[in-house]
């Protein structure tokens, strides 16, 4: 990897600046700079960040270094600095693009756009030297560098880095279904998915589920899955899989969505249970019943519980210290199962009648068991 510093003025940068709305392609620097190469993340800068960039430049303060990669054909792509570049170019080329900057008096803000600058301000702006590192090297070197500089700088999400490393037509297709504003995944299944589609959370989730279905075991199962599929023609199978998951969810749990359904590991549940013989009516009645059960503290866990019957999903109510202390004194420290004496700290609160048989977390239903007896009881 060869890295050299070159100052690039804003005048040079904004030369022939174009944003193609259809393809998402953005070019600058006389058409020679690909500002938004395919593997780069979506533009997620907010207005405040853009204003900070313009403010910095207008004051002549230094901006952080940018990285451009030299391509074999002599053109360049932005490796780091996409958002700063776009903010500067939009400000300088779009008269309608205005930013709110603090008034020099210290009182209030002014709305500033490029044509309104004084001549000398505009001249200083155009002559502002950006510190750009020109890098050349192999794809692998670029990607390693991409990860390094982003870890040092702004927090890129893990999936955004994976997208950079495994860029391919397959990935582009997958992103169109899972990672765009108003993508199909968001429109159809957004109520079941947590995170932001734009920041690649949906894509990461579906890839995790698919990797689990395929029994992939590695340190980073998503990367392994992406590596295996990056040369596929398209991501249709991934989308089909997603539709099968949520088709099953709707068939099993009904079409009405509760807020507790957001962000559950639906794909994992589908992988393990879609062949179970379940009566949707029974399942839905059971969910309704548990939702109304005050002993169930984790309502989100109900969906997994009705599939696998494991009470750990439900965070059932436990006895508080006062109830346990009262029971301990009544028992005079004797464990009712093994009849030995224990200190309070050596015992645990237990439901005499278990929750599964209708027992409640009330003082009358509390007994203290020694730890070994309590562990033995919960294993039966
Ligand atoms: Zn005991």
* CATH code, domain carrying 335: 1.10.30.50
From residue 11, alpha-carbon distances to 20, 99, 119, 121, 123 in Å are 21, 19, 14, 13, 9
* Statement to judge: residues 271 and 302 lie in one domain: no
* Statement to judge: residues 118 and 8 lie in one domain: yes
- Mean of pLDDT values over 272-301: 96
Q: 363 CA to middle of ligand 1, Å?
A: 20
Q: 309 CA to middle of ligand 1, Å?
A: 27
Q: 346 CA to middle of ligand 1, Å?
A: 10
Given 242, 275, 308, which residue is the final one in a domain? 275
**Cα(51)–Cα(53) distance, rounded to whole angstroms?**
5
User: pLDDT tens-digit profile of 38-93?
Assistant: 666 555 667 888 899 999 999 899 998 898 988 888 899 888 888 899 999 999 99
Cβ contacts of 15-23, under 8 Å, gap ≥ 24? 17/89, 17/92, 17/93, 19/86
* Statement to judge: residues 9 and 152 lie in one domain: yes
User: pLDDT tens-digit profile of 327-336?
Assistant: 999 999 999 9
* Statement to judge: residues 31 and 138 lie in one domain: yes
pLDDT grade for 303, boundaries at 50, 70 and 90: very high
Q: 107 CA to middle of ligand 1, Å?
A: 73
Given 105, 126, 156, which residue is the final one in a domain? 156
* Statement to judge: residues 238 and 305 lie in one domain: no
Query: Count of domains in the chain?
Result: 4
* Statement to judge: residues 190 and 74 lie in one domain: no
What residues make up the domain containing 374? 321-378
* Statement to judge: residues 25 and 106 lie in one domain: yes
Q: 128 CA to middle of ligand 1, Å?
A: 78
High-pLDDT (> 70) share of the chain, %: 94
Q: 305 CA to middle of ligand 1, Å?
A: 29
Given 156, 185, 215, which residue is the final one in a domain? 156
* Statement to judge: residues 301 and 342 lie in one domain: no
Q: 343 CA to middle of ligand 1, Å?
A: 12
pLDDT at 138: 72
Q: 332 CA to middle of ligand 1, Å?
A: 13
Q: 375 CA to middle of ligand 1, Å?
A: 10
Q: Does the pLDDT value for residue 179 go beyond 70?
A: yes
Q: 377 CA to middle of ligand 1, Å?
A: 10
Residues with CB under 5 A from ligand 1 (ion): 335, 337-338, 370, 373
Q: 297 CA to middle of ligand 1, Å?
A: 28
- Mean of pLDDT values over 229-248: 96
**Cα(28)–Cα(162) distance, rounded to whole angstroms?**
26
High-pLDDT (> 90) share of the chain, %: 67
Q: 252 CA to middle of ligand 1, Å?
A: 42
Q: 335 CA to middle of ligand 1, Å?
A: 5
* Statement to judge: residues 172 and 196 lie in one domain: yes
User: pLDDT tens-digit profile of 118-154?
Assistant: 999 999 999 999 999 998 877 667 667 766 766 544 5
Q: 359 CA to middle of ligand 1, Å?
A: 21
């Amino acid at each position: 990897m060869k890295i050299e510093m070159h100052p690039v003025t804003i005048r040079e940068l904004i030369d022939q600046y174009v944003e193609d709305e259809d393809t998402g392609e953005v070019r600058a620097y006389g058409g020679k700079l690909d500002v938004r190469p395919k593997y780069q993340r979506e533009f997620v800068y907010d207005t405040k960040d853009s204003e900070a960039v313009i403010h910095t430049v207008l004051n002549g303060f230094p901006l952080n270094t940018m990285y451009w990669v030299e391509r074999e054909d002599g053109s360049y792509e932005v490796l780091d600095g996409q958002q700063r570049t776009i903010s500067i170019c939009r400000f300088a080329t779009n008269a309608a693009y205005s930013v709110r900057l603090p008034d020099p008096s210290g009182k209030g803000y002014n709305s500033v756009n490029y044509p309104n600058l004084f001549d000398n301000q505009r001249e200083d702006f155009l002559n502002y030297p950006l510190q750009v590192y020109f890098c050349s090297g192999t794809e692998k070197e670029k990607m390693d560098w991409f990860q390094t500089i982003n870890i040092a700088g702004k927090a890129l999400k893990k999936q955004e880095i994976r997208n950079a490393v495994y860029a391919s037509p397959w990935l582009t297709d997958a992103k169109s279904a899972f990672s765009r504003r108003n993508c199909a995944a968001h429109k159809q299944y957004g109520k079941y998915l947590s995170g932001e589609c734009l920041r690649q959370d949906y894509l990461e989730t579906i890839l995790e589920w698919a990797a689990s279905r395929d029994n992939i075991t590695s340190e980073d199962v998503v990367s392994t899955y992406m590596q295996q599929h990056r040369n596929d023609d398209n991501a249709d199978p991934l989308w089909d899989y997603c539709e099968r998951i949520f088709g099953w969810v709707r068939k099993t749990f009904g079409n009405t969505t509760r807020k507790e359904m957001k962000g559950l590991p639906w794909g994992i549940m589908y992988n393990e249970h879609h062949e179970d013989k379940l009566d949707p009516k029974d399942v839905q009645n059971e969910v309704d019943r548990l939702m109304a059960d005050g002993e169930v503290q984790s309502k989100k866990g109900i969906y997994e519980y009705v599939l696998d019957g494991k009470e750990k999903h439900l965070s059932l109510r436990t006895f508080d210290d006062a109830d346990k202390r009262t029971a301990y004194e009544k028992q005079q420290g004797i464990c009712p199962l093994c009849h030995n004496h224990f200190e309070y700290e050596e015992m645990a609160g237990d439901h005499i009648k278990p929750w599964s048989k209708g027992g409640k977390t009330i003082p009358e239903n509390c007994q203290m068991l020694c730890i070994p007896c309590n562990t033995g009881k919960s294993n039966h």
